[in-house]
Structure 1
């Protein structure tokens, strides 16, 4: 019988540091993308794909992680599943960069606040999971939040829900892959699927004289070239945190990114937050509080049950 992982028994200070660092970097992403606004969303995402692949390839060579990638390629199911994950990633990136460039960062933060609730919903619809009563309550409250926000925005919050659902589907893909692909190897394969299209997009933009990288100044070019590292480093930190922290703490840490996005939107980019938006966010936060309480309660019971049943485990 294998002994429990330390991550399930105690909170690692280094794990907390990795998690906080990852989500702080994700929360600051709108500032990076807005600094590259001359490029537009399509060029930024194209560079992000190509340079993420380059950065991952360099890391894999230096860490000899290419063996893991070769194992992924040989496993056809995992390989094509990651290709599907790449499709959800590019949709998520396009919506998020568009929101960052066009004054919709508040709505983007709402999308990532909503993501845990959407993940629960997808579990019911696609995986046929049975929900606990409090999870149903959280879903019902979230539906009310969408209604309030639709009225408050004057339109359906498609950016928020587009981000939540694209990331939710991506999470399902990654759950299906499981431990067969690590963070860097998985990102390398996902971006490898997207890279040919991204290269064609960059060549077309260059031929039309619309490529901003190289023509919008040295600072713009330097920041563009760092897009690969900016994309991969939070993933590395997240993977390191996930190995050291219980799932419940990772679940709480994920709220750091949308909180920071909301702060950036309101206090740096001065996006409007009328009362009806605050009301919509408050309803979402209530749903998340219920979901988080249920997660901690269920996790506590599961640990007790697991301890009792451990001797019979293989």
Structure 2
């Protein structure tokens, strides 16, 4: 690995939260159209010229790693539609101090890319899987492809990834019947299953609070059907998921409950959109333009100051349940999951 700049004061906001994790979107494009993320038709993607290059992404990461950012998660859109993604993985892996490199994917292209990604230095995978029913998959994603996702999961395990999590959106009136089959599928393969509460980030603006299937409700369903769950040892207090293990030792299931049990008080995350906007919260209504600095000859100190100012402006929480809550203008695929 090549050396990065000396360690500098950490990124601490006005509420004392230290930021060590960066969600980094590499594209707003996607090969499916999940209703909770993207509109069915008429999507206008960013032109290629507005998307950060691998070199620009790597430079920004080189600036923030000495500030204490040790974990990077690549997101989208669907990150695997970005050409030559393993090349970016290898570039990021050269940065001294970067401890963990992860990726969130819908799995559709993983069958052909799992091995190259592993060779390039990817540590961990989160794979979206909302259902094991092909018809429901097509209804939710507005595309066919469940078998491609399952093939991608197989390929990831065969490539030697030791940390693979399956993520399912929990939507009342839609996914209750999927809970037990998904957990049984994950347990049969030695994978962690996580359920994520439906958030107001859908492009159609159809989110309603009564469509949130809470983590507590899902836990109750699992205990009735599959047996008692016990809290897992919590090694990272900043992680959004609350993990549980089955009392009989047969698997792990996690719950990410941003609506019913906000975890903002322990948030350590920043976000970078595909076109280079730094965000201090998934639900932020403001952004800081790193791309203009990267493309105007600004030095590293200016980029660092932009990131620090963004962190300093972070609010105490996302405020979904507050009467003054304003939805972000962007949908999930435009921000980066």
TM-score where L is the length of structure 1: 0.28
- Which structure has more strand as a fraction of its residues? 2
- Which structure has more helix as a fraction of its residues? 1
